[in-house]
Amino acid sequence: MESVILKPDRDKAVRNRHHWIFSGAIQQLPSFEDGSVLPVKSAGGELLGYAYFNRRSSITGRIVSFGSEPPEDAIRRHINEAFEMRRRYFDSSVTNAYRCINAEGDLLPGLIADLYEDVLVIQIATLGMEKLKPLLLDVLTAEMPLRSIIEKSDLPARREEGLPVFEGLPYGEKVDSVPIMEDSLPFFVDIAGAQKTGFYLDQREMRKLAREFSSERRVLNAFGYTGAFSVYAMKGGAISVDTVDVSEKAIALAEENLHLNGYAGSEVDCIAADVFDYLRRPDLNYDFIILDPPAFARRKQDVVSACRGYKDINRLAIKNVKSGGLVMTFSCSHFIDEHLFQQVVFQAAVEAGREVKILQKHRQAIDHPVNIYHPETAYLKGFLLSVE
């Protein structure tokens, strides 16, 4: 098999176990079909690992095996280790929904797999992983008894890879919704009509934090989606929780999840409205505002407009929350790092004219590990703010 040869001074990242190989680091590419797995060697001929390559992508190669381990063996081992790590940390009688594979965080670039009871929802972002799908399905179905594997590969990255958006049922029976447990709280996950894989599993630790601080507060859960933050806030002793989302379908799901947890009275209200408009209402009366919007920057060129959006909603929340209140704010935009997001929140606070302190930063859910050699895995960031 012909190899990809890296430039003499451009192999440090791979030696440091970073998964990405950019075109500028490559000295020599053999003739190959995009998506193929090829050996990667230094300019001196040392085997550094194996990667799949796609000339269409700005990230030309992605390592699936470092050193001399055969790539298929490495993929099997990484999947096995990823599942085993989750088994160590999750009691399925308490929480039976979690991320099993977190792309580079689990040494499997281009692959996401979320488990909802006995239904696995996968996302494949790259052509290389697409070509490896038969192997992936073989290993995944061997890991645990599954009712279904559902693919919801609607990621923006697929366009750069030359792949269409795809949804399908590669294994098992058709499933539209699944009941799950998170921290012993029941929820319905709408898989068929879901955003991403169905439930924002990466916010589990922040939902716990919201529960800790909700006692005797009037809470606004903005961009409420499944209503999970609302359920946790009520469990934490909130006086009331309003859930706002522009999607009527999301609001119906939030209502269902609140009812499932025993909340159906006047203390919970689910409102289909644009959050930007809602935050401008003159009659807001909240002690705790939670802002968990979808990604405003899906592409690098969206960063400037996304920052305007983040500043707008944070300015409105900081301006309108009651004195002594809290604002919990997030960004899941990959192209906006924590430093930039903090700058945006700083500008929002300046324009709101309030005294603001950061009480806590985002707590990473343990099923979303960040690869120490690949810090780009840390996409979600957030702050718990105190406002006077």
Q: What is the phi-psi region of residue 237: left when phi exceeds 0, alpha when psi lies from -120 to 50, beta otherwise?
A: left
Give the C-alpha separation, 315 to 150, whole Å.
39
Give the C-alpha separation, 121 to 123, whole Å.
7
CATH number for the region 71-179 comes to 3.30.750.80
Specify the pLDDT at position 37: 98
User: Which residue in 37, 58, 43 sits closest to 11, CA to CA?
Assistant: 43
Judge residue 362's burial from the number of C-beta atoms within 10 Å of its C-beta, 0-12 exposed, 13-18 middle, 19 or more buried: buried
Specify the pLDDT at position 46: 97
Cβ-based neighbours of 217, under 8 Å, separated by 6 or more? 233, 238, 239, 286, 287, 288, 325, 326
- Phi and psi dihedrals of 182, rounded to 5? -130, 120
Mean pLDDT to the nearest integer, 122-143:
97
Query: Residue length, the chain?
Result: 388
Give the tens place of pLDDT for each residue, 197-239: 778 999 999 999 999 999 999 999 999 999 999 999 999 999 9
Only one residue has tokens 């390559």, namely 53
- The mean pLDDT value of the chain amounts to 95
131: Cα within 13 Å, side-chain hemisphere:
15
Give the C-alpha separation, 20 to 292, whole Å.
29
Mean pLDDT to the nearest integer, 67-86:
98
Give the confidence band of 157 by pLDDT, cuts at 50, 70, 90.
Answer: confident
**Angle, vertex CA 61, rays to CA 56 and CA 66, nearest 5:** 170
Specify the pLDDT at position 63: 98
**Where is average pLDDT lowest: 19-33, 194-208, 240-254, 274-288?**
194-208
Our separate counts of H helices and E strands in the chain read 11, 20
Give CA separation, 114 vs 88, 97, 186, in Å: 16, 7, 17
Specify the pLDDT at position 331: 92
Global pTM reads 0.93
**Where is average pLDDT lowest: 146-150, 153-157, 191-195, 339-343?**
191-195
Q: Which CATH superfamily is domain 200-387 in?
A: Vaccinia Virus protein VP39 (3.40.50.150)
Give the confidence band of 385 by pLDDT, cuts at 50, 70, 90.
Answer: very high
Residues recognised as catalytic: 332
Give the C-alpha separation, 31 to 123, whole Å.
29
Other Cβ atoms less than 10 A from the Cβ of 301: the count is 10
Give the C-alpha separation, 237 to 251, whole Å.
22
Fold match flag (71-179 vs 200-387): no
For the chain, percent of residues with pLDDT exceeding 90: 87
Pairing of strands 240-245, 218-222: parallel
The architecture in CATH of the region 4-66 reads Roll (2.30)
Domain map (residue ranges) of the chain: 4-66, 71-179, 200-387
Give the tens place of pLDDT for each residue, 161-195: 999 999 999 999 999 999 999 999 999 999 987 76
Cβ atoms 199, 116 nearer than 8 A = yes
Instruction: Mark out the alpha helices in the chain (DSSP H runs).
Output: 12-15, 71-89, 127-131, 133-143, 157-160, 204-212, 228-235, 248-260, 275-278, 303-320, 338-352
Mean pLDDT to the nearest integer, 256-268:
94
